[in-house]
Structure 1
């Protein structure tokens, strides 16, 4: 190859025989879509729980009365988020083991 010659095209990352992904389609089919929904739910629960926990700490720091809804949100959302994330780890390990 001479310095002025254009570089050859890079090989495609898609393996031979693998179907091309369509726009808007989650890789892995329905199983990939289920993991996506599970991960979005886990992140949403974690964010809600952490915001509620921050509100509890801020209210206590300012010497106010803590609203029980914040306590309930942190009591339920954080453990649910943890369990969903643990389920995602297990599902990913099982999927990796199958392939």
Structure 2
């Protein structure tokens, strides 16, 4: 291939597979699960940091932070595990 030649299109080699970002390999439902996993993990980690900071400052921990870390972190973990299982299953098919 010379510098003047256009790059080959991988989608033309495999007609059923689109290429590039946002190509549909991750359907909207799975993208939503991924975003939810990140959001739950972020909320859980921020609440855990707030608990640790409050304990360091010897204050009273707000129960909402405790509930958020108790529920958000396991939910995020389960969502991430489901994404890993789905990814492994789809790679096994191809």
Q: TM-score normalised to the size of structure 2?
A: 0.82
Which aligned segments of 4 or more residues in structure 1 are displaced greater than 6 angstroms?
Answer: none
Can you list the C-alpha shifts for 1:42-99, whole angstroms capped at 9, x where unaligned?
0000000000000000111111100000000000000110011000000111111122
Q: Which has the larger radius of gyration?
A: 1
**Number of aligned residue pairs:** 90
1:20 Cα shift? 5.8
CA contact (8 A) 1:26 1:33 kept: no
Gaps of 5+ in 1: none
SS in 1 for 2:11: coil
Which of 74, 80, 93 matches 1:79? 74
State the match for 2:9 in structure 1: 12
Within 2, Cα distance between the matches of 1:19 and 1:80?
32
The root-mean-square deviation of aligned C-alpha atoms, in Å, is: 2.2
Gaps of 5+ in 2: none
